[in-house]
Structure 1
């Protein structure tokens, strides 16, 4: 794979800007608000279907928002970080992904000990522990498609565009927005940590794939743990 230069983009390289950020935000907000209300109305009596549908929405919202930002002006995958990186960085991202998962698990344990509300993810947990078929579909949505959609949107567009103001703004602000997009709940600090790791990898590689791996590992391992624990807890 081709080695990509680290640090911020050369000044003559095309990259997304405020137009793409605005389009991304509008589409993401509309899709999440409208579709989530439809899901809750249609499947309110079945928490498993709610969880599975919201998992599908997590993937679709990111992909739809990214598609809108992509089509509005630039229409270049490389400009949004959809480009190759080195095997070295892919392996590093696996290690960072595992570390992020373990850190996030530890944080959840601390929140539980401190009496935090861990019930906001009940629908997702129900979908992850409702048999092999539902678990497999949930794994596809949460572990693969959601990291793709959200990293294309939040790192490929948002972090990418904000990096013109430097890494502290690019990584920090985009991670905060990414966390807030997950709601004011116990997932917020976990999403922020994941966003920081993914943002840093994007900054260093200019590729979304290491960020997708970190995000994917956190989601995949979390879903697998929920599935396994349902048989023992």
Structure 2
């Protein structure tokens, strides 16, 4: 099975066009956004003395990525190349797959906690990355809610659409399954930038790819991703918030 290929809906040329379009547009807009901040309010005013970024910055960053993914997938991957949402991976699936997805997310989360402890022990400097993902001080209730909605609901859906529905499926139609899973997982991990998160995301991606291939649907990966992010946010943000209260 690992040496087999999938029947993807995009050709090599079409896949590269979709991938490059996303990379150019997303990083181009991100660069322009950073320049806008630098030459207006400045990064010091935005971050303050905190080691964590403000909630509004992370929310807008996730929103930008979501909009670019949806625009590229809809305009190129689907409309221009006449591919259906079903071919992308939105197919009906048995409820037991959703339960399995939630179970895998929980197991993966527990393993990632153990892995994080090992990584911090091996590389002590990475302990700084264990801080809360956003600045809690000065964060309004509305900003926190928007951050949670983006992180727990919207981001998992759009990332699964791009990384599993398009990227992995396209690569698996050109290369052996194991190689497509490895490359797309590394790319997914790299998109998280911070080293411990990148490693953790890449490993979680392999489990999510199993769900996608076995169920032939994006719904189990989406459920797994949602549960994973919910657990991560609860551990990294809500628990310290409750302790501080």
- Which bracket does the TM-score occupy, shorter chain normalised? 0.7 to 0.9
Aligned length: 224
Alignment counterpart, residue 25 of structure 1, candidates 15, 19, 37 = 19
Contact 2:189 2:198 in 1 (8 A): yes
TM-score (norm 1): 0.83
Alignment of 1:136-147 (within 5 A): 136-147=145-156
What is the deviation of 1:131?
4.2
User: Which has the larger Rg?
Assistant: 2
What is the deviation of 1:118?
5.2
Contact 2:129 2:194 in 1 (8 A): no
Partner of 1:199: 209
Tell me if 1:86 matches 2:97: no
Contact 1:147 1:216 in 2 (8 A): yes
Contact 1:178 1:192 in 2 (8 A): yes
What RMSD over aligned residues (CA atoms) do the two structures have, in Å?
A: 2.7
Q: In structure 1, what is the Cα distance between the partners aligned to 2:130 and 2:21?
A: 24
What is the deviation of 1:123?
8.6
Contact 1:16 1:80 in 2 (8 A): no
Partner of 2:49: none
Contact 1:178 1:195 in 2 (8 A): yes
Partner of 2:223: 213
User: The residue matched to 2:192 in structure 1 has which SS?
Assistant: coil
Partner of 1:66: 73
Alignment counterpart, residue 16 of structure 1, candidates 10, 16, 21 = 10
Alignment of 1:70-149 (within 5 A): 70-114=78-122, 115-117=124-126, 119=128, 124-126=133-135, 130-149=139-158
Contact 1:100 1:214 in 2 (8 A): no
User: What stretches of structure 2 of length at least 5 have no aligned partner?
Assistant: 47-52
Tell me if 1:52 matches 2:62: no
Contact 1:39 1:50 in 2 (8 A): no
User: What stretches of structure 1 of length at least 5 have no aligned partner?
Assistant: 1-6
User: The residue matched to 1:117 in structure 2 has which SS?
Assistant: helix
More off after superposition, 150-159 vs 215-224: 215-224
User: The residue matched to 2:134 in structure 1 has which SS?
Assistant: helix
Q: In structure 1, what is the Cα distance between the partners aligned to 2:14 and 2:117?
A: 38
What is the deviation of 1:72?
2.9
Q: In structure 2, what is the Cα distance between the partners aligned to 1:127 and 1:39?
A: 23
Alignment counterpart, residue 185 of structure 1, candidates 192, 195, 203 = 195
Contact 1:128 1:134 in 2 (8 A): no
Q: In structure 1, what is the Cα distance between the partners aligned to 2:136 and 2:11?
A: 37
